[in-house]
Amino acid sequence: MEPDRALLMQLLPRLTQLSRSFSRGKLFERAVVSSGAELDRPSMSILFSLQLAGEPLRIGEIAARSHVAGPHITRQVQALEKRDLVQRVTDPADQRARLIAPTAEGKAVAERYIGALLGWFTEALTDWTPQDRPELGRLLARFVDDLTTRLSALDEESP
């Protein structure tokens, strides 16, 4: 069944509005200030990815989750290592390989950053019903997953 064009036309400006709200509201910058660390977006993205993963990750996995090339992540990881926010640890599955893990301070910075984001999102959902909140999560996750899959397929087709 094909989605209703009118519904999709209503969705487009809302997605643009959401993107602008994140940018114009300086969500990232405000969350970084709340974290107590002066980090750029790529560095915070690495700490965020590691915190969400809940386990050390290879550089390639961090790059895939961040949708950037490995060399960019390597440079960011090196800068985070100098600040003692991440460390390299041995991969238990392959003693030759190294994984990236947050240090105690790196975890604390990521938690403060995530806490700021969650606080703002919680405020925005204050008047939502208990039924609407999980429905938003379910539908948004499904939409993002489906859209990402289709866009990835387009990327693979491109020369």
Is 6 part of any domain? no
Q: Of 71 and 102, which is predicted with more confidence?
A: 102
Is 136 part of any domain? yes
- Residues 44-95 have pLDDT tens digits of 999 999 999 999 999 999 998 888 877 889 999 999 999 999 999 998 888 8
Q: 132 and 121 share a domain? A: no
Structural domain that includes position 159: 128-159
Is 148 part of any domain? yes
Is 5 part of any domain? no
Is 66 part of any domain? yes
Query: What's residue 2's pLDDT?
Result: 67
Number of domains the chain is built from: 2
Residues whose CB is less than 8 angstroms from the CB of residue 155 and which lie 6 or more positions away in sequence, other chains included: none
Flag whether pLDDT at 158 surpasses 70. Answer: no
Q: What is the mean pLDDT of residues 94-118?
A: 93
Q: 80 and 36 share a domain? A: yes
What is the H or E stretch that residue 99 is in? Answer: strand 94-102
For the chain, give percent helix, strand, coil, nearest 5. 70, 10, 20
Nearest to 47 by CA among 98, 105, 89, 90: 105
Residue listed under structure tokens 């009118």:
6
What is the H or E stretch that residue 65 is in? Answer: helix 59-66
Q: Of 101 and 120, which is predicted with more confidence?
A: 101
Mean pLDDT over the full length of the chain: 89
Q: What is the mean pLDDT of residues 125-142?
A: 93
- 155: amino acid identity, one letter: D
| CATH number, residue 73 | 1.10.10.10
CA distance 114 to 51: 9
Flag whether pLDDT at 18 surpasses 90. Answer: no
Is 2 part of any domain? no
CA distance 39 to 37: 6
